[in-house]
Chain A
Amino acid sequence: MTLKTEPFVVNVGPQHPSTHGVFRLRLTLDGEKIIDADMVMGYLHRSMEKLAEERTYTQNIPFTDRTDYLAAMTGNLAYVIAVENLAGVEPPERAQWLRTIMSELQRFASHSMAIGIFANDCGAWQTPVMHMFRDREKILDLFEMACGARLTTNYMRIGGVSRDIPPEFMPTATKLLKDLPKRLDEYENLLLENEIIVARSRGVGVLTAEQAMAHSVSGPMLRASGVAWDIRKADPYAAYDKLDFDIAVGTHGDVYDRFVVRVAEMRQSLHILEQALEMMPEGPVNAMQPTATVQPAWSAPTGPLAIRPPEGEAYARIESPRGELGFYLISDGGPAPFRFHIRSPSFINLTPLALMTVGSTVADAIVILGSVDIVVGEVDR
């Protein structure tokens, strides 16, 4: 006798702790097996791109904090580089280094969050993530010291950064850098060889290099599939061309490799930070400051808050913790962008989700989603 079965639809989210925000995953199940996965997005849509068309170029900077709220520094950075390309400004040397330092601190903070939450998804409820939070807090303290805010930093400015770091920043950062490798060892002890984590993530959610490239996946996800592609090397910005670091690559493209790649990237971030703190020159931090040696290319009698870049378009991309973050701007010569588009890595990295989840079980779907490391604010914008 055969039992009559029919597919069953399960909604994961929009209010579900494992969807990392308001994101809905509609799974069609045959028993425990997933036969179809459907993503429903837009619950956190805030119309960032349209809002930006109403605001001046500088007024838009705080909005870029709020797309990827776990990596505000890199969000700021990609946007200001796009505006600088549009307006033809060259930020001073020290600003470039400050940008690099802040980006790497942000990468460490964001990745520690990513692996902590990933452990959460694997069932290690809240304990590992608290270890990571402790160190992330220290980095956020540094941000607060430099710019006053922990999460929504609004630190980068067109032509540099908003202000120089305070004198106490360097000693604190150097001390933290001595500390963090030990912390990283601790994370590795806790999670990297942990049999439960390995069993939950080895061979799960495999994305081959071809599939990853076909879906324009970027960041740690692409590198976990074995493609050594990193904007910091491929198209250097800020001061990355002067630094020595390796691209962490995986081999299998499974969930475990994504996790390992993130941990390896955190090590590289520390390596970069060590060099950057040492190599950073003195000097002005903003091309718009009266003391700056580099004069802005445009004349702005009412200050840079009202800059009007010449007509044209510009695209800037950086390696954000989640992947290739790009800003595409069109200027019609006015004080606000005519078109403002964000190429958000979270959104594009999600596209092969169905490919990764179909065929696996429900519990795996949660781990796979966790390994993509999405920030829903950036998915929906």
Chain B
Amino acid sequence: MLGMVKAIGTTLRAAFRKPVTVQYPTEKKDLPHRSRGFPVLLWDFEKTEPFCTGCQVCARYCPVDCITVTMKDNPKFAEGKSKRKKIVDKFYLDYARCMRCDICVEVCNFDAIVMNNTWEGVELSRYDRQDLVMDLPELLRQSRTGDLEDPFREPMGVAHSGWAPKAGEEDEQAAQAAQPAAAAGEAAKEGGEG
């Protein structure tokens, strides 16, 4: 009998506790900085173009093959406005297939792709699965409009080049990073043709 009394006591005490839950759609918990929503691409405001060079490294390392990406010559490079020789042409990411594993983010040498750490990165309901295949404008939208306020960018442990943005140095470093990008892009292209 004692056990029952104890159990009822616990239950009674619980009745007077403050609830730990929040009323979700109207009230949202703060997501931690590292929160991993679906991946999105970042917009380079300096050069008004995406960071992504279309190097296809992410497409190759994605465990479930949900990324398709192609590259093109960067018209801004010819005009001398950007140091990126190559730039992303088309980018498709199938959110219906992505398992949010973070690997594409870790392998990207240009920090062009991040895991979305806003609620918008997880609240994705669509009537058609086809609508979950995101294209380049859709993937860049949040970063471009500034909705993605503070994406988590870090020189990742494993496969990362070690590039870390420092205050004031970001532009220079990005430009330097763009050089091997072009080389990698060339190689990827050759590989694709061969």
* Cβ-defined contact, B34 with A62, below 8 A: no
* Cβ-defined contact, A58 with B103, below 8 A: yes
Tell me which of A162, A186, A190 contacts B158 (CB under 8 A).
A162
B6 at the interface (CB under 8 A from A): yes
* Cβ-defined contact, B158 with A285, below 8 A: no
A42 at the interface (CB under 8 A from B): no
Q: Chain A, 254-293, contact with B by CB distance < 8 Å: what is the 0/1 string? A: 0000000000000000000000000000000110111000
Interface centre among B1, B156, B159 (most CB of A within 10 A): B159
B102 at the interface (CB under 8 A from A): yes
Tell me which of B1, B157, B159 contacts A161 (CB under 8 A).
B157
Which of the four size classes fits the interface of chain A? 35 or more
With A58-B159, A190-B7 given, name 12 new contacts (CB 8 A). Answer: A63-B63, A127-B11, A144-B34, A144-B35, A152-B99, A152-B101, A161-B157, A189-B9, A195-B4, A198-B3, A288-B159, A305-B103
Instruction: Provide the bound-state CA to CA distance between A3 and B141, in Å.
Output: 75
**Who on chain A is nearest to B1 by CB?**
A195
Interface residues of A (CB under 8 A from B): 55-56, 58-63, 66, 127, 131, 134, 137, 141, 144-149, 152, 154, 157-164, 166, 186, 189-198, 285-286, 288-290, 303-305
Q: Which residues of A contact B157 (CB under 8 A)?
A: 157, 160-164, 285-286, 288-289
B167 at the interface (CB under 8 A from A): no
Return 6 A-B CB contacts under 8 Å, by A number.
A62-B63, A148-B32, A149-B100, A152-B101, A193-B2, A288-B159
Instruction: Provide the bound-state CA to CA distance between A160 and B103, in Å.
Output: 15
B182 at the interface (CB under 8 A from A): no
Q: Which residues of B contact A189 (CB under 8 A)?
A: 6-7, 9-10
**Who on chain B is nearest to A289 by CB?**
B157
B83 at the interface (CB under 8 A from A): no
Instruction: Provide the bound-state CA to CA distance between A152 and B63, in Å.
Output: 14
Closest 9 CB pairs of A and B: A193-B3, A148-B36, A62-B101, A59-B63, A286-B157, A303-B159, A148-B34, A189-B6, A194-B3
